Structure 1
Amino acid sequence: MTTTMENPKDVQKDAIVPTFSRTNPFQAKILKNLNINGEGSSKETRHIELSLDGSGLSYVPGDALGIVPSNDPELVASLIEEMHWDENTAVTIGKNGETLPLNEALTTYFEITLITKKILQQAAAFTENEELQNLLSVENAAQLKEYCYGRDLLDMVRDFGPWKATVEEFVSILRKMTPRLYSIASSIAANPGEVHLTIGAVRYTAHGRDRKGVCSVLCAERVTEGDTLPVFIQANKHFHLPESHETDIIMVGPGTGIAPFRSFIQERAVNKATGRSWLFFGDQHAASDFLYQEELEKYQQDGVLTKLDTAFSRDGEEKVYVQHKMLENSKELFEWMENGATFYICGDKERMAKDVNDALITIIETEGSMDRDAAEAHLKDIQKQGRYLRDVY
């Protein structure tokens, strides 16, 4: 009898391959970073392609990519200047007592763009500012909530000083930076060793200052091709393609909500799926905001995408949204659903997802000749069958 011995070198090599995760992200090289909005658009949407070579990471359509971002250096500098701190002071991070220079800690480790009730409560110990004590009183709960919305740490230190705390005491009240999750916009079967993202740059003015989304503006302004981003895969078990390639799918994804559906369509093209697919896409202007237009139209010509309905809200006298396009196609949409199609929504939770849900109930009510309650119950049944899936934020 012969036994085969593993080569000790191979064993050793396998043992040291790191597992990349949320706590140990992979430094993914940026292959492409493009603004895919056209001239004249009020938006900036980045299409980013990252290399996963050497990471051992994989994903399925519907999964998300986590990015561990860093804060805007200008915001960090303003905070340090406002507090008259020394950027080189060593401060403690984490529970194990590791230290980093203040500048680096505020850039890479601490969350400084969001403030919470808890942070304000803890900060109140470092100041005698009556306005802050007043804001934290029980009867001012509504004002406190309003204050936290859209403000950051720099606002807090400017509004409620003078401060009597060491740098160490002050950073001890801050939360650790949380990774930002983005729906993956590619199929690994169609793009081996790569992951693509569709990220809308968040910029707005509030309380007299220009604000920037931590991760979206990092991607839009501060990283270019050849740089790396720390990433990990976040599985999304509740948003995936049907197991059968024969199942029809209906996808509603305006704006950056298109991302997972680009991955769905790419995957189905590779798998030569026979099920029909129908995409509802919307944005402001057809000329500048039709994301992935050429790709989608080519998929439609090739028969991979059966139907493509678009709603561009600012192109006509009246605002037209994806839910209006659904209602225009109510008879056919109901037939697809009754024949077993899976319905997907991706995008804005507050308004769009609610409006699309209401439109879907109206379609079931009208085409199924039932009252509103029965239509809602019917949609709940479809959801229980796993045929109504939402990825909303």
Structure 2
Amino acid sequence: MIRKLHRWPGLVALALLIVLTLSGAALSLFPAIGRLSAVPVEAGLSVATLASRIQSVYPGVEQIKRAPSGQITAYWFEDGTPGAAVVDPASGQAVASADPSPVERWLTNLHRSLFLGDGGRITMALGALAMLGLAVSGVALVLRRVGGARRWFTRLRGPLAGRLHVEIARIAVLGLGLSALTALWMTASTFDLLPDAEAVAAFPAAVSGEMGAPLADMAGLRDVPVAALRALSFPYAGDATDVYTLTTSEGTGYIDQGTGERLSWAQAGVGQRISETVYMLHTGQGAALLGVLLGLMALGVPALAVTGVLIWLAGRRGRVRIHGNHAARDAETIVLVGSEGGTTWALAATLHKALSGQGQSVHVAPMSAFAPERYARAQRIIVLSATYGDGDAPASAKGFLGRLGKSAALQGVPMAVLGLGDRCFPAFCGYAQALARAAEARGWQSLLPLTTIDRQSPQQIARWGRALGAAMGGELELVYEPVRPPSHVLRLISRRDYGVAVQAPTAILRFARPRVSLWQRITGRGFGRYQAGDLIGIVPEGSAVPRLYSLASGQGEGFVEIVVRLHPGGLCSGQLMQMVPGDSVQGFVRRNAAFHAGAGTAPLILIGAGTGIGPLAGIIRDNWLKRPVHLFFGMRDPGSDFLYDAELALWRGAGHLTTLSTAVSRGAHPSYVQDRLRAERAEVVTSMQAGARIMVCGGREMAAGVAEALADILTPLGLELSTLKAEGRYVEDVY
């Protein structure tokens, strides 16, 4: 529901919000310009002295105003002709025109009313209301995605448009919400919907009847500093019954023109102070730096609009349609989905269809929408969860474990957890296992024991479906066909073979980059944007389930490169290792932002063995900024499987690689990368003290040995691997 409340007002009000924020951002510059151009006021200058100086230059002066920027403007009549000018408080002389520039006037009318009068003001107020609603719903969605307020600025992953949308929103939302609230207040004030905030002093019942007292000697003005002045209106010429009207930050009152004494005074109330503060916060008048800052935040709206539309379009393209999805409050079966790449949603649709066909009312939702208080008719909860990385929550499950830990188990509502993953990865279904343990700890009754599915196996899913049906007191057949992701033709242009002599046939395969459209380049879809460390999915013949390989190249190289080792009986590796230049295969890109080198100049410690050199080589090749890079590479025999041997020498000479330390496991003195780390402890310590990031790629046994060695090296420094992982300074891509 929150997602819909965020999406549709944003799409409907898109053009209006862009006009509103762009004009507001432009207007935010004028207070800063006025502040810079304002003539300084001498310390201790009183309103009496200021008024006297201006009157000596303009005898027919009728009013003096001080803007929040400090600019002093005088208004007068001379020979029946009105005049106005910005004046120098030191001399009273005019220094600039009092009229705003045509550009400022045009922008102001556009921003306030679209040149449409009161109807335009109401329209712009509706735009501000929409922006406020988007800010509130956006905060709720970000909190749900990152898992709470404490993780507000946590690192994000996923498609570029989605990450940019959240990154911009996290910074700009406070300013946008503030601007929207103050705009609504000012509109309500314009249409007299708020109580009158101005202090109004009672007009004096009696005055002295005298005229012509010198302004410089008036006690009612002499004690008022110019910094507090808002406006001073002069009495009508020749009218002994008229008075001076003085408005300051403290209130409003009247001053006798013959004696200079204050006749009556109304202290500024809370309402007036609030109105002045709201005006300052919205316009930046009196707080130029704040105004510029809010203007910069307003510029985030067009970017949010573009990224929001891209997210919406991507969602429409990749969304699995679930027809007849019941509301949570009406459903007997709640199906919660934790998905990273979208494939788990396809299984959820299959399950929804099967259960609905048996007369069940079913509600399917992301795990991030878990809300037990809404499940009024629920008889069971089924959780389908993938795992991201090293046991982390997938994208649509953010915050689930936190909410589960705070929610009491529903009486008589059992829960079943199904984990989906790939046994090639060390944390196979790690997140599903964690949430199954958490559910048990919170007292949730188990509908089924935790079940895990390897590579979307239709056979395993069918067996789980039958077990689920039996647990529900009936039969359930799930006929599931894995979703084949959109892929591109990859044509092999070269290959280099290694490892035959050590019984580990390995090849560096280089494919031509598929042709991409301009739109794909802009949006980053498909092969429009990728870098070393991302994953390439290869769809082998005879299977709809892709195999994932780490990319050893980025889009800047103009080719797609991976490192493949032949696995006995491996369907995909066998097919790839038989390819010759000119052959083609189907593939697609999957982002893996957690294993990117990232920006900055801090050192990199790259650790890999065997085919794990692939993404590390790509990172080194792309190190054009020549940040310090230390590579630890393990192989069996340097004469057989020294992958990228020639390139590493060239990159080292070009400054892309700082040091190379190799470990050879077969030879007179076998060693492994963890041994080399211990041997070069001093270099590792120095790099870590300089803020280095460690990236490990390769087999899980190697990664375990590396983690143990690094713990020995870093623990004495007070650096824990768990902390480094949380900070993003220790990342793994292991299999």
Normalization by structure 1: what TM-score?
0.59
2-side partners of 1:338 and 1:383: how far apart? Answer: 16
Can you list the C-alpha shifts for 1:332-387, whole angstroms capped at 9, x where unaligned?
201211210000000112x1111100000001135x2xxxxx65xx2222222111
Structure 1 residue matching 2:575: 3-state secondary structure? helix
2-side partners of 1:305 and 1:46: how far apart? Answer: 22
Structure 1 residue 301: deviation in Å? Answer: 2.0
1-side partners of 2:637 and 2:725: how far apart? Answer: 33
2-side partners of 1:315 and 1:299: how far apart? Answer: 27
Partner of 1:331: 682
Give the conservation status (yes or no) of the 8 Å contact 1:249–1:277.
Answer: yes
Partner of 1:359: 709
1-side partners of 2:620 and 2:486: how far apart? Answer: 31
Give identity over the alignment, percent: 31
Q: Extract unaligned runs of 5+ from structure 1.
A: 1-18, 71-107, 110-176, 204-211, 369-373
2-side partners of 1:310 and 1:384: how far apart? Answer: 28
Structure 1 residue 263: deviation in Å? Answer: 0.9
Structure 1 residue 242: deviation in Å? Answer: 2.1
Give the conservation status (yes or no) of the 8 Å contact 1:187–1:266.
Answer: no
* 1:301 matched to 2:653: yes
Aligned residue runs from structure 1 range 1-393, under 5 A: 23-37=485-499, 40-56=501-517, 57=527, 58-70=529-541, 108-109=542-543, 177-189=544-556, 191-192=557-558, 194-203=559-568, 212-221=569-578, 223-244=579-600, 246-268=601-623, 272-317=624-669, 319-349=670-700, 351-366=701-716, 368=717, 378-393=720-735
2-side partners of 1:388 and 1:65: how far apart? Answer: 22
Structure 1 residue 286: deviation in Å? Answer: 1.2
Structure 1 residue 64: deviation in Å? Answer: 0.7
2-side partners of 1:332 and 1:29: how far apart? Answer: 42
Structure 1 residue 31: deviation in Å? Answer: 0.8
Moved over 3 A (4+): 19-22
Structure 1 residue 52: deviation in Å? Answer: 2.1
2-side partners of 1:326 and 1:61: how far apart? Answer: 24
Give the conservation status (yes or no) of the 8 Å contact 1:242–1:342.
Answer: no
Give the conservation status (yes or no) of the 8 Å contact 1:26–1:55.
Answer: no
Structure 2 residue matching 1:288: 3-state secondary structure? coil
Structure 2 residue matching 1:331: 3-state secondary structure? helix
Give the conservation status (yes or no) of the 8 Å contact 2:602–2:690.
Answer: no
Give the conservation status (yes or no) of the 8 Å contact 1:46–1:198.
Answer: yes
Give the conservation status (yes or no) of the 8 Å contact 1:255–1:347.
Answer: yes
Structure 1 residue 34: deviation in Å? Answer: 2.9
Letter in 1 for 2:576: C
Partner of 1:83: none
1-side partners of 2:498 and 2:665: how far apart? Answer: 18
Give the conservation status (yes or no) of the 8 Å contact 2:494–2:511.
Answer: yes
1-side partners of 2:516 and 2:505: how far apart? Answer: 29
Structure 1 residue 187: deviation in Å? Answer: 2.5
Structure 2 residue matching 1:24: 3-state secondary structure? coil
2-side partners of 1:259 and 1:23: how far apart? Answer: 24
Normalization by structure 2: what TM-score?
0.32
Structure 1 residue matching 2:622: 3-state secondary structure? helix
Give the conservation status (yes or no) of the 8 Å contact 1:343–1:387.
Answer: yes
Give the conservation status (yes or no) of the 8 Å contact 2:531–2:553.
Answer: no
Q: Larger helix proportion, structure 1 or 2?
A: 2
1-side partners of 2:664 and 2:532: how far apart? Answer: 26
1-side partners of 2:658 and 2:611: how far apart? Answer: 21
Structure 1 residue 255: deviation in Å? Answer: 0.3
Give the conservation status (yes or no) of the 8 Å contact 1:69–1:218.
Answer: yes
2-side partners of 1:252 and 1:330: how far apart? Answer: 14
2-side partners of 1:52 and 1:294: how far apart? Answer: 23
1-side partners of 2:686 and 2:608: how far apart? Answer: 20
1-side partners of 2:593 and 2:487: how far apart? Answer: 21
Structure 1 residue 302: deviation in Å? Answer: 2.0
2-side partners of 1:334 and 1:379: how far apart? Answer: 14
Structure 1 residue 24: deviation in Å? Answer: 1.9
Structure 1 residue 30: deviation in Å? Answer: 1.1
Structure whose CA Rg is larger: 2
Give the conservation status (yes or no) of the 8 Å contact 1:32–1:50.
Answer: yes
